[in-house]
Structure 1
Amino acid sequence: MKIMFMTLRDRVERFTDFSNLSKDWEYVFAGYEKDTAKLLEMGGDADAILADAITPVPKELIEAMPNLKIIHSEGVGYEGINLAAADEKHIYVCNNRGANKTAVAEQAVMLMLMVLRHAVTGHNRVLEGRQIEAKASWSMEGISELGSMHVGIIGMGDIGIETAKLLNAFGCRVSYNKRYPLSPSQEKEYNVTYMSADDILKNCDIVSLHIPSNKETFEYMNEERFAMMKKGSILINTARGEVVKNEALLEALKSGQIAAAGLDVLAPEPVKEDNIVVKAMKNDGELAEKIVLAPHIGGLTVQTFDKIYGTIWSNFKKVCAGETPVNIVNHP
């Protein structure tokens, strides 16, 4: 079996014990190369591809690889993989559903706390010698505890459920929305109540996004939905940057429609200095204090990658043996 890695080589080597794999297997490390011709030159005869969750695996590449049997996302997302082309060639596309649920849930709660406690601004105030000024200001303005918040989770999959579990420990009231509501027993177990997405936006103090990135959810948080949000509420996004319209987010923050945002993700990735949100924050200090950014590291824990690579190598072994892998996301 020949495997082409379209991701970071150091990460593959760190979380893989090659001594446990077949000595006959071959490996091609393509990094983040996106040129189809170059990829085919390196690994056009590969049986498997492992791709970073945001790396494109286009139709042209899939159609030109005669031996390809499985494409595996290194993460949960797989929006860069052309599923239709894989279906046509009966190629499995798999992900690592649920592997990062604890890590991303922790990131979501951390962003909520950072926003509520003015963590980044407070850090900067201390470095500037303005500790007492910041303390006095926020003691008068008031800092809310997370447990006093009504949190709405939009997208109640593995990560949404894990986030709800963590929020319960803080004493939050938690509402959720998903296409198919949980059963009454599940709602009782997770201590959550179902609400329509519109009602979550209108009534919750914090809205946490946990929806996939696809055609239906592109710029889900647009001008109309930001206008629905409770005045002075907070947006948290640990899903994908593409589900939030950047221009609408900035307008909602500048107008005071929402008080703040905690973002582990921004679109497009990779995020550059000319990103509209980054530029706006650099040019407007008041706006910058309303946003907490993280570099899309919600799921990048050691524990997550241990689970991820366990699934990846198990699936490659199954396909090599003619068996069906787990976590198939297409219709091969």
Structure 2
Amino acid sequence: MKKHVVLYKTLSAPLMARLEAVAQVTVVENPKSQDGLAHLRDALPEAEGLLGASLTLDADLLSLAPRLQVVSSVSVGVDNYPIDELTRRGILLTNTPDVLTETTADTGFALIMATARRVVELADWVRDGQWKQNIGPAHFGTDVHGKTLGIIGMGRIGEALAQRGHFGFGMRVIYHSHSQKPAVDARFGAEYRNLDALLQEADFVCLTLPLTAQTQGLIGAEQFARMRPETIFINIARGKVVDEQAMIEALRSGQIRAAGLDVFTQEPLPADSPLLTFDNVVATPHMGSATHETREAMAACAVDNLISALNGQRPKDLVNPETWPRG
């Protein structure tokens, strides 16, 4: 008998066919809406597998799923899931960590370029008919090549960002992570720094680390005060790694030059957010992995992980390895 999977993510026709060949699939559309959430709650008691993204699986929802064996998330971040509770219950949690690395690093470097060269601001200025003569110093940006790139969180995405900066733009790379990485040092001529030293030294401070209890609120007023007025701040990690109000104050006071932000404390970003009042802020809609190719690859990876788990095989991208081997 096929196992029961609850799907709350749109899949392409080939991936849907592949999943339906091995599982009985209940599709829940828009699970964040009132009707969608009600449908999800009705479906959970029979669910042996879940596949989706961007839904917080809290204790209340989890309590409705006594048969659940695996949660396959179409994401690299897993802060939406109660990992300790899943592990306690022996429920496998999987993610898609490899397939979005390069695309997310592209997004990070796009934000570096857009903020440094004031691309969005000046493009809007031209569109508004303000370009009447050759631009002068009031509209100049700052160079990226040859500058110091400071990366906080030297995982897969951090390394991909370092590659772009070092080889593509001749940037000096410094980084802060939970440990020094000799392979990174050798490949990029990178230098490890403690957090305070990195903040004081980097021309571009880029966050690429996961959201955990230890990293939540890592960058606040004290950290922004250590940056220089020439510093450009980039966040492609998670919004809650940053004290957003402290960042707003740093921008307002001129403590930092600019910010390129793909993630926010509240998403979607409210229309009345003060961040939208700054010309030197480039705000994008959490689009780090948002290309056709990468999103399809992420979904395929999640389907692979789910099918492996339901077939009694260890999935490739197991977040909580304590659940394996299964008892």
TM-score by length of 2: 0.90
- Mapping 1:292-311, distance limit 5 Å: 292-311=282-301
1:231, 1:92 → 2: CA distance?
46
- Residues 308-317 or 118-127, more deviating: 308-317
Do the aligned partners of 2:207 and 2:234 also contact (CA within 8 Å) in 1? yes
Q: CA deviation at 1:86?
A: 0.8
1:141, 1:79 → 2: CA distance?
40
2:22, 2:161 → 1: CA distance?
42
Amino acid at match of 1:40: R
Q: CA deviation at 1:37?
A: 5.6
- Where does residue 321 of structure 1 map in the other structure? 311
1:222, 1:174 → 2: CA distance?
23
Do the aligned partners of 2:105 and 2:157 also contact (CA within 8 Å) in 1? yes
Matched, 1:136 2:135: yes
Q: CA deviation at 1:132?
A: 3.8
Cα 1:230–1:95 shift into 2, 3 Å: same
Matched, 1:221 2:219: yes
- Where does residue 2 of structure 1 map in the other structure? 4
Cα 1:24–1:243 shift into 2, 3 Å: closer
Do the aligned partners of 1:98 and 1:159 also contact (CA within 8 Å) in 2? no
Matched, 1:116 2:106: no
SS of 1:313's partner is helix
Could you list the per-position Cα deviations for residues 210-254 of structure 1 after superposition, in whole angstroms to 9, with x for gaps in the alignment? 111122222221100000112221100111111111111111111
- Where does residue 103 of structure 1 map in the other structure? 103
- Mapping 1:189-200, distance limit 5 Å: 189-200=187-198
- Residues 30-39 or 84-93, more deviating: 30-39
SS of 2:160's partner is helix
- Where does residue 157 of structure 1 map in the other structure? 155
Cα 1:28–1:269 shift into 2, 3 Å: same
Amino acid at match of 1:5: L
1:110, 1:310 → 2: CA distance?
26
- Where does residue 87 of structure 1 map in the other structure? 87
Q: CA deviation at 1:141?
A: 6.2
Q: 1:233 aligns with which of 224, 231, 234?
A: 231
Amino acid at match of 2:308: K
Do the aligned partners of 1:151 and 1:205 also contact (CA within 8 Å) in 2? yes
Matched, 1:64 2:54: no
2:38, 2:288 → 1: CA distance?
33
1:293, 1:255 → 2: CA distance?
19
- Residues 154-163 or 302-311, more deviating: 302-311
Do the aligned partners of 1:63 and 1:85 also contact (CA within 8 Å) in 2? no
Do the aligned partners of 1:232 and 1:256 also contact (CA within 8 Å) in 2? no
Amino acid at match of 2:258: A
- Unaligned residue ranges in structure 1 (runs of 5+): 282-287
Q: How many residues align?
A: 316
Cα 1:143–1:271 shift into 2, 3 Å: closer
2:26, 2:17 → 1: CA distance?
17
Q: 1:262 aligns with which of 239, 260, 263?
A: 260
2:6, 2:17 → 1: CA distance?
18
- Unaligned residue ranges in structure 2 (runs of 5+): none
Amino acid at match of 1:4: V
Amino acid at match of 2:311: A
Do the aligned partners of 2:151 and 2:205 also contact (CA within 8 Å) in 1? yes
Do the aligned partners of 1:76 and 1:97 also contact (CA within 8 Å) in 2? yes
